[in-house]
């Protein structure tokens, strides 16, 4: 019962936090230079991780599909199947997991340290709104940077698939690319972009929420980081299921 009560309390505080963030953004949005600074900071710190992870996601998907379609003599369709599966589902999901651990944990620890050291209270005492000055630039910056990183990672996944198809399945680049437009339809591209936006929002909102509500000393910072990581993992999985249902419904209407 205690775990359930704690979950319900956190869920209620989370929605109140989002309400405060949105209302502050509508009344007094942060300066663009602070948002650009956060986007650049997140993008630079996660670029290498996203590149490597995206590349190997595409490589793994290509190898898995190649093992199955070789027996049917359909290796020419390897590029389309691998790219469609990566863009539609696997790429956004796995890269979001990596970003939640890197970007989410770092931001939560940063905000938690500011909260327990009373820096946020000091900002409030000076007459400024910490939501506007600290939370919103990070919130918007993480959403924008995470979305572009997810798309960037999917692009590297395509390169990884091209390379592995040549090495593992003896499919040249032109043959790999030829059937990509045939199998990877517009709904596949929409699915990948839609999932990327939703996952980016989940990462940004959860890490800023748990960091902002941390209290109780250094131990609270570690607790905030753990809570952020766990919440991001569960949220991404649930949102992946939910967005898949939405995309499926849209696909049936088209």
pLDDT tens across 228-238, in order? 888 999 999 99
Average pLDDT taken over every residue of the chain: 84
Identify the pLDDT of residue 121: 81
In-domain check, residue 142: yes
Q: Which residue has the higher pLDDT, 207 or 151?
A: 207
Check residue 73 and give left, alpha or beta (phi > 0: left; psi -120 to 50: alpha). left
Name which of 73, 46, 81, 82 is nearest 159 in CA terms.
82
With the CA atoms of 26, 28, 30 and 32 taken in that order, what torsion angle do they form, in degrees rounded to the nearest 10? 80
User: Residue 202: which pLDDT band, with cuts at 50, 70 and 90?
Assistant: very high
In-domain check, residue 50: yes
Identify the pLDDT of residue 51: 85
In-domain check, residue 117: yes
In-domain check, residue 15: no
Query: Tens of pLDDT along 17-48?
Result: 999 999 988 888 888 888 888 888 888 888 88
Q: Compute φ and ψ for 129, nearest 5 degrees.
A: -95, 115
Q: How many CB atoms lie within 10 A of CB 74?
A: 13
The Cβ-side half-sphere exposure at 199, using a 13 Å CA radius, reads 35
Residue with tokens 């990948």: 192
Residue ranges making up the domain that contains 92: 38-253
Identify the pLDDT of residue 240: 92
Query: Tens of pLDDT along 155-195?
Result: 888 888 888 888 877 777 788 888 788 777 788 888 888 88
In-domain check, residue 29: no
In-domain check, residue 8: no
User: Residue 1: which pLDDT band, with cuts at 50, 70 and 90?
Assistant: low
pLDDT winner (highest mean) among 101-110, 197-206, 209-218: 197-206
Can you tell me the distance from the alpha carbon of 187 to that of 168, in angstroms, rounded to the nearest whole number?
Answer: 29
Identify the pLDDT of residue 132: 87
The total domain count for the chain is 1
Maximum separation of any 2 CA atoms in the chain, in Å: 70
In-domain check, residue 104: yes
In-domain check, residue 76: yes
Average pLDDT (6-23) is 86
Average pLDDT (119-139) is 85
How is 162-207 classified by DSSP, letter by letter?
HHHHHHHS---HHHHHHTHHHHS-HHHHHHHHHHHHHHHHHHHHHH
């Amino acid at each position: 019962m205690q775990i359930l009560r704690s979950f319900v309390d956190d869920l209620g505080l989370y929605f109140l936090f989002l309400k405060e963030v949105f209302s502050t953004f509508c009344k007094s949005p942060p300066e663009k230079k602070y948002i650009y600074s956060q986007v650049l900071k997140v993008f630079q710190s996660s670029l290498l991780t996203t590149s490597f992870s995206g590349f190997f996601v595409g490589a793994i998907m290509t190898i898995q599909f190649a093992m199955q379609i070789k027996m049917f003599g359909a290796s020419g369709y390897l590029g389309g199947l691998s790219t469609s599966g990566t863009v539609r589902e696997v790429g956004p999901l796995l890269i979001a997991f990596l970003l939640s651990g890197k970007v989410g944990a770092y931001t939560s620890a940063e905000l938690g340290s500011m909260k327990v050291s009373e820096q946020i209270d000091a900002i409030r005492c000076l007459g400024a709104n910490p939501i506007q000055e600290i939370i919103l630039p990070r919130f918007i910056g993480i959403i924008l940077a995470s979305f572009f990183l997810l798309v960037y990672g999917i692009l590297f996944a395509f390169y990884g698939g091209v390379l592995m198809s040549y090495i593992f399945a003896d499919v040249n680049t032109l043959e790999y690319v030829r059937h990509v437009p045939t199998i990877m339809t517009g709904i596949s591209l929409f699915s990948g972009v839609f999932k990327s936006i939703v996952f980016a929002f989940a990462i940004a909102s959860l890490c800023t929420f748990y960091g902002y509500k941390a209290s109780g000393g250094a131990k609270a910072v570690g607790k905030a980081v753990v809570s952020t990581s766990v919440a991001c993992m569960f949220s991404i999985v649930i949102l992946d299921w939910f967005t898949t249902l939405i995309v499926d419904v849209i696909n049936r209407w088209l």
